[in-house]
Amino acid sequence: MAILRFLLEIGVLLALGNWGVFVGTNLLIKSLLGVGYPLLIIGLWSIFGSPKARIPLNPWMHGLLETALFTLAVLALYDTGRTSLAILFAIMIIFSQILSFLLHQKNSHPS
């Protein structure tokens, strides 16, 4: 499960970096957005979302942050014309969330 989540998080960074390059108007802007946007997301995640976050969020806010980042990645893929990939990525995110919920439920109920 952790591997799937990690791969999805890497996918978010790749999708947003690709989007930054796609929307940039010249080489400098493409480079700044392509690198800067993922770095911004890494910074936000390390401060608020990671297991070792400096400012940990309550579960509801953490879920909201995850949802926002995953949604941005899907929209970025769609905006760059990668509709099939956006749909596949969204399905993988939903599968991961369901699996996470089910595993959490299973681990919270003693047998």
pLDDT recorded at residue 1: 75
Calculate mean pLDDT across residues 27-33: 96
* CB-based contact 30:87 (threshold 8 Å): no
pLDDT at 110 exceeding the cut of 70: no
Question: 32-49 pLDDT, tens per residue?
Answer: 999 999 999 999 999 999
**Residues whose CB falls within 8 Å of the CB of residue 11, separated by 6 or more in sequence, listed in order:** 73, 89, 92
pLDDT tens, position by position, 49-77? 998 999 999 999 999 999 999 999 999 99
Q: Could you tell me what percent of the chain has a pLDDT over 70?
A: 94
Q: CA-CA distance, 18 to 41, in Å (whole number)?
A: 14
pLDDT computed for residue 105 by the predictor: 66
